[in-house]
Amino acid sequence: MADGKLVRDLIPQIIRAGGGEPMAYVASPDEYRRRLRHKLSEEVSEFLAADDSAAAEELADILEVVHALAIDLGMTLRHLEELRAQKAEARGGFAGRVVWTGNA
């Protein structure tokens, strides 16, 4: 991947408002998809390293990337939620805190 990183859409404007001159470009569709996947990994790492006071913000960042990935894959957020709900219906969620240790 070339230098740089995928940032939120308003970051160049925020930099300009602060007196800076951002250097940025719009990624091609293929580069965008690769960078979104990399961004997801980056955001998950930040979440895992965050303490409880910062975890909610990091989780929101992950969700933003997940939404962008779903849209990039041609899915609506409603369809993504339907898939999540179907999996939860068929296999459950994680609220039960079940830890599997193997089969007897």
State pLDDT tens for residues 24-81: 999 999 999 999 999 999 999 999 999 999 999 999 999 999 999 999 999 999 999 9
Asked if 5 and 40 touch (Cβ cutoff 8 Å), the reply is: no
For residues 84 and 45, give the distance between their C-alpha atoms in angstroms, rounded to a whole number. 22
Residue 69 lies in a domain: yes
Q: Is residue 35 part of a domain?
A: yes
Residue 2: predicted pLDDT: 62
Residue 7, number of CB atoms within 10 A of its CB: 14
Domain holding 76, by residue range, is: 28-88
Q: Is residue 50 in a domain?
A: yes
Residue 47 lies in a domain: yes
Q: Is 1 domain-assigned?
A: no
CB 33 within 8 A of CB 70: no
Q: Give the predicted TM-score (pTM) of the model.
A: 0.88
pLDDT at residue number 60: 97
Helices (H), the chain: 11-17, 29-49, 52-72, 77-91
pLDDT for position 63: 97
Residue 76, sorted as left (phi over 0), alpha (psi -120 to 50) or beta, turns out to be: beta
**Is the Cβ–Cβ distance between 4 and 22 less than 8 Å?**
no
The residue behind tokens 């991947």 is 1
Q: Is residue 94 part of a domain?
A: no
User: Could you tell me if residue 76 is inside a domain?
Assistant: yes
- Confidence label for 3 from pLDDT (cuts 50, 70 and 90): confident
Domain count, the chain: 1
Q: Does residue 4 register a pLDDT over 90?
A: yes
Q: Is residue 44 part of a domain?
A: yes
